[in-house]
């Protein structure tokens, strides 16, 4: 079995024969399907599928596969893409002062636990420079005292870096609509609460005031509506009345790291399909 695969991702209006048509097409091309996932949304009647094909089973490259598949896609009004997994995804990481999520992602990157390329780390503070540069990665400090200047510089820098994905690893700035729209479905954020509860600033303080018994973290796509984008992954940790806000922050950081890494993995592996303001995640 080869390491290199092609991932075929499809969403379209449901119709009899979609699975048979796709499977037959791949079989006729000599394509070996190594993984297949399907889902029909009962409300919208939209069909979703993720097919993984052994690249070595085909006698041609991914561009030819796209060309040959296009007529079938048109027949079923498909929204589709095919990704060649031999090319690592370009992921730009944004952070502020807190290092726990950034540190966790850099560890997973260095240990090859997550397969992606990091062209740069960007921050509105200089506090994490030495840590990032120890990893031999470019570090860009863009002060945010003037928000307009900060986001103008960020926009220009992102244009130069050409990321496929942007990860907000506790980047404590609210992105302007222009950036959210330009990279729609490609900006991943970690929010330190179980959304939609306690959106916005200081969610642990909000949780403490409410006396909750569970705190959580949410990995979601960024939209121009604060903390309201499609959710990729969530998890929780149990607390009680003995736990101070500092305890909750400490406990929550572990949840944040896990949820962000899992959400990024799902995205990198093309397991997340956005449908309106929710997601289908093929775990």
Q: Which residues carry out catalysis?
A: 227
Structure tokens that stand for 218 in this block: 């949410």
Q: What is the DSSP secondary-structure string of 194-261?
A: -TTTT-SS-HHHHHHHHT-SEEEEEEEE--SSTT-SPEEEEEEEE--TT--HHHHHHHHHHHHHHHHH
Q: What tokens were used for 153?
A: 């510089």
Burial status of residue 276 (CB atoms within 10 A of its CB: 0-12, 13-18, 19 or more): exposed
User: Encoding tokens for residue 27?
Assistant: 């079989």
The CB-side HSE value for 230 (13 A sphere, CA atoms) comes to: 18
Q: What is the distance between the alpha carbons of residues 37 and 159, in angstroms, rounded to a whole number?
A: 34
Euclidean distance between CA atoms 238 and 215, whole angstroms? 7
């Amino acid at each position: 079995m080869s390491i290199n695969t092609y991932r075929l991702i499809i969403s379209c209006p449901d119709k009899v024969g979609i699975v048979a048509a796709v499977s037959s097409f791949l079989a006729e091309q000599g394509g070996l399907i190594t993984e297949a996932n399907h889902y029909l949304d009962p409300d919208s009647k939209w069909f979703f599928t993720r097919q993984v094909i052994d690249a070595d089973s085909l006698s041609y490259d991914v561009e030819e596969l796209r060309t040959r598949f296009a007529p079938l896609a048109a027949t079923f009004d498909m929204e589709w893409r095919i990704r060649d997994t031999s090319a690592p995804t370009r992921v730009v990481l944004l952070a502020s002062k807190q290092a726990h999520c950034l540190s966790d992602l850099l560890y997973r990157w260095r240990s090859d636990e997550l397969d992606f390329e990091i062209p740069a780390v960007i921050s509105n503070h200089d506090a994490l420079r030495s840590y990032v540069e120890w990893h031999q990665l470019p570090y860009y400090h863009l002060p945010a005292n003037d928000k307009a200047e900060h986001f103008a510089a960020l926009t220009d820098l992102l244009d130069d870096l050409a990321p496929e994905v942007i990860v907000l690893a506790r980047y404590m700035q609210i992105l302007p609509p222009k950036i959210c729209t330009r990279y729609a479905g490609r900006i991943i954020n970690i929010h330190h609460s179980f959304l939609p509860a306690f959106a916005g600033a200081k969610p642990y303080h909000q949780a403490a005031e409410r006396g909750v018994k569970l705190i959580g973290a949410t990995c979601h796509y960024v939209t121009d509506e604060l903390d309201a984008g499609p959710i990729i992954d969530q998890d929780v940790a149990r607390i009680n009345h003995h736990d101070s806000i500092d305890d909750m922050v400490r406990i929550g950081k572990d949840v944040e790291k896990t949820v962000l890494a899992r959400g990024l993995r799902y995205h990198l592996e093309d397991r997340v399909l956005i449908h309106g303001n929710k997601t289908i995640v093929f775990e």
